[in-house]
Structure 1
Amino acid sequence: MLKTRIVTAVIMLAILLPVLFLLPPIYLSGLFLLILVTAAWEWSRLIAPNASYAAYFYALICAMVVLFLWLFAIPTVEIALLSIALAFWIIGMPMILSQGIHLSLLRWRFIFSVLGFIILPTAWLSLDVLREIGLWWLLSALILVWLADIGAYFVGKSFGRRKLASQISPGKSVEGALGGLALCLVYAIGCAHYLPAGDTLFGSFQSKWGWGWMLLMTAVLAAYSIMGDLFESQLKRIAKVKDSSHLLPGHGGFLDRVDALLPVMPIAALFSIMVRS
């Protein structure tokens, strides 16, 4: 399984890196669009597993929302969407997570349907906003999410004893979460200390508000990376499936790969707006 995961990850990087570094930004926006629309298709299949054709319609509507944001770029609409998504991630998601697996998918299906049309386009919008600030600014935020996952996986495998959320995701441990957090903090300190302050969110935050606030911001982003993963795991649990799809061998589906990005990117966009205001 690990070998399959590594091969798939290498192939994904072979696609992502040239788009990041060799092509104009519009291609990256298009790649993000394809990924999140595919994630929307998977999202619909989770909340309505017996409505296979509806999943394509759901993905189409999500694509239309993203295209509207992309083509018209209306600031009031973008701010409103970002605000609604942030309100959910900060207030709504912890409330839903607190319910564990004691949620009725039938009762929550409409809410999850509407929610997908908010959080998926907002993730695309946030990624696009971060890319407009700078390529390394965007990469610094993406790398933090990847490191949180890597740190949690390897520390959890080696030292995990106490379950983080046994009902939702039995494989995740408190030790793993702390390992992911520690790796993110080391990474953020390295960015702020060794890279030009204006190149990354962490350096800019430290330069403007000091080390304490920067480390707190990093901890918040790392925590929401873990919670985003748990949130999708919760949805899969109540949908009684292991993966969102089988499109990515060894990784499940695209939603399984972007679940941690969904809350982190809007919050990173908010911090970016704060530090640049």
Structure 2
Amino acid sequence: MLKQRVITALVLLAVLLPALLNTNVQYFMGLSLLMISAGAWEWGRLNGRSHVESVVGAVLFFLLSVMLVDGGWDRRVPSALWLVSGAAWVLLGVGMLRVGVAGWGRLPSHLRWLAGLGFLAVAWLALIQAHRIGVNFLLSVLVLVWAADVLAYFAGRAWGGRVFRFKLAPSISPGKTWEGALGGFVGVLLMAALWLLWDRYHPALESSLHTRLWERGWWLALPAWAFLTAMSVVGDLVESLIKRSAGVKDSSGLLPGHGGVLDRVDALLPTLPLAMMLYSWLEWQA
């Protein structure tokens, strides 16, 4: 399993990194759209759609996304979209975690399917917008989520259950603990501090999200980092809940050793639009 994970990770890096760093944004845009369209196919399967319906849904998702790009949405998205999607993620996350697996299954399957495709589209637009701002900016958001995930894992393994006697969401993801969540936030703080230093000594690069927040004051940066960390956990828990409802361990087997595309991007789905919401607010305040 470990060998598969490493090989898959290296292949993904070999494919994604050149597209990410290429000055022609079309490469990254096209590659990321193919991947998120695969996630759209997985989403259909997780919500009771047949194989044919899932494929048709993914194809339509791809075509509609291309139409959005043709309409200029890859360059400029109404700021209200980030606010609405961010608020929807907060409400949806809280609501789903309260109703649990059984409550999710009671919702109409077509509604779940279409709503999920909408969230995927917004996350992809946020990814593209962040990339257009600059690679340094985009990476600062991506690494925030990865740092929270990695440090949460190690903190949970080391201290899980030793400080708090109750789990984070035992009915959805029994392995997640409050100690892990707090460890993830510490990881984000360490990563943000390193990124602030990086930006300081590389002034030619566009500012990261962390520098933009810190320049407005620690009183804004700390709650913003905590909020983004919490929402990355919500994204992870929401996907775990949906997989439990579908009775599967992984969203698919597209990425050997890693599961499916949704298994890799679940924490990014709420975090990317919320990062763009913060960016839009900072730009408006400037």
Question: TM-score when scaled to structure 2?
Answer: 0.90
Aligned to 1:116: 116
Aligned to 1:139: 139
Q: Which runs of 5+ in 1 are unaligned?
A: none
Q: Distance in 2 between matches of 1:46 and 1:159?
A: 33
Aligned to 2:250: 243
Map 1:1-277 to 2 at 5 A.
Answer: 1-22=1-22, 24-48=24-48, 51-73=50-72, 78-79=78-79, 81-103=81-103, 105=105, 107-161=107-161, 162-196=166-200, 198-207=206-215, 209-277=216-284
Deviations 1:138-193 (A, max 9, x none): 01101111111111112212222242111111121111111111100111122224
Q: Distance in 1 between matches of 2:65 and 2:52?
A: 21
Indicate the larger mover: 2-11 or 175-184.
2-11
Count of aligned pairs between the two proteins? 275
What is the root-mean-square deviation in Å for CA atoms of aligned residues? 1.9
Q: Distance in 2 between matches of 1:275 and 1:130?
A: 14
Deviations 1:177-217 (A, max 9, x none): 1111110011112222441475201101111x111211211
Distance 1:77 1:203, change over 3 A: closer
TM-superposed CA distance for 1:76, in Å, is 8.9
Indicate the larger mover: 194-203 or 265-274.
194-203
Structure 2 residue matching 1:273: 3-state secondary structure: helix
Q: Tell me the percent identity.
A: 40
Once superposed, which parts of structure 1, at least 4 consecutive aligned residues long, lie more than 6 Å away? none
Q: Match of 1:85, as an amino acid?
A: S
Q: Distance in 1 between matches of 2:265 and 2:152?
A: 16
Q: Which runs of 5+ in 2 are unaligned?
A: none
Deviations 1:198-255 (A, max 9, x none): 5201101111x11121121111111111110000000001111111001111111001
Deviations 1:99-120 (A, max 9, x none): 1222252533122112122101
Q: Is the 8 A contact 1:188 1:215 kept in 2?
A: no
Indicate the larger mover: 56-65 or 257-266.
56-65
Q: Distance in 2 between matches of 1:148 and 1:257?
A: 14
